[in-house]
Amino acid sequence: MVLGIPVARLESRRRDAGLGEEASLAKMVEQGPDYTDLWCCDSPMEVDAPSCILACLTSIWMLESVSVPLFIVFGLVFILLLFVVLIRKNGTAALIWNEVIREKITNFIMNQSKEQRILNFVLENAVRGDPCSVLDAIDKYCSQKEWAMNVGNEKGLILDKTVEEVQPSAALELGTYCGYSTVRIARLLKAGARLLTVEFNPEFAAIAKQIIEFAGVQDKVKLLEGPSEEIIPQLKKKYEVDTLDFVFLDHWKDRYTPDTVLLQECNLLRKGSVLLADNIIVPGAPEFVNYVRNNPRFQCTNYPSHLEYMKVEDAMEKAVFLG
């Protein structure tokens, strides 16, 4: 194995690409758009890392050009296997594996961001103008190939139900990312309603814009690029928002509370406005949960669920503004 990639898969890719035996992994990646399936694990959640790590380190140790003491090899194997156990049981460890280790290695190998790979998969596999097809394509990619921080299909049903109950005329999303939840919300909006979605990262915003347009919901959505603390105070005058019927919080977790306070200070919430916050357990938003649950101006409901595309426990929190 090489970097946990089975030799048989590498050989297959080399033959398919018509490359010689001396072809490197990087050269093989250049020959095709999608080599994320080279990893041993068949999905982001089912990390088959023990065999990958053991085989990888054993192979390295056996190379004549590398002289590694046996105790160091077994020490590294033990540490990595311990981390694998944490990945399966602990949400934070799972995020570190998917968002830091695996993503960085894959980005380096493929010379392309994960978000661009998600966009490419949507363009190649979804139906233009069909938002449900776009959502299904993203869910398929993120559950079978690479984990990504979308709200996902399980918590997406909670989001759907809330939007359908509120029937908002004016909605705000904080944290667009690739546009998954944007499309999910926009497809349920009634005629004449609009969704303002805020994204701080310009690369994510560019990807989201293409996905939103491909899904055919661009007429209902306005994507605002920049930090939420700067955009929220501009909503009334610059974007002609009177009050918001629905707010979906899915950006930086440490911004949940200050942005909720800011929405109130800017008089953007009316009696009955609904806030729905994602990931209140993993990565976690304890300050926000404590704020809304102990605030007499909010009535809260907790929705237990799981972290997107994983079996790790997570939850969403709905907070209805009482005025």
Active-site option among 146, 173, 245, 278:
278
CA 55 to each of CA 1, 3, 45, 109, 183: distance values in angstroms, whole numbers, following the listed order: 6, 9, 20, 20, 42
d(CA 303, CA 257): 19
Active-site option among 98, 150, 153, 279:
279
253 is catalytic: yes
Active-site option among 114, 145, 253, 318:
253
The overall longest dimension of the chain from CA atoms, in Å, is 72
d(CA 219, CA 212): 9
Kindly report the number of other CB atoms within 10 A of residue 18's CB atom: 8
Residues 6+ apart with CB under 8 A from 74: none
What phi, psi does 173 have (nearest 5°)? -120, 130
Active-site option among 250, 259, 314, 317:
250
Q: Where are the beta strands (DSSP E) in the chain?
A: 170-174, 194-199, 221-225, 244-249, 269-277, 298-306, 313-321
DSSP secondary-structure letter at 226?
A: S
89 is catalytic: no
160 is catalytic: no
DSSP secondary-structure letter at 5?
A: B
Question: Collapsing DSSP states into helix, strand and coil, what is residue 321?
Answer: strand
Residue 284, exposed/middle/buried by CB under 10 A (0-12, 13-18, 19+)?
A: middle
Active-site option among 308, 314, 317, 318:
308
The residues annotated as belonging to the active site are 250, 253, 278-279, 308
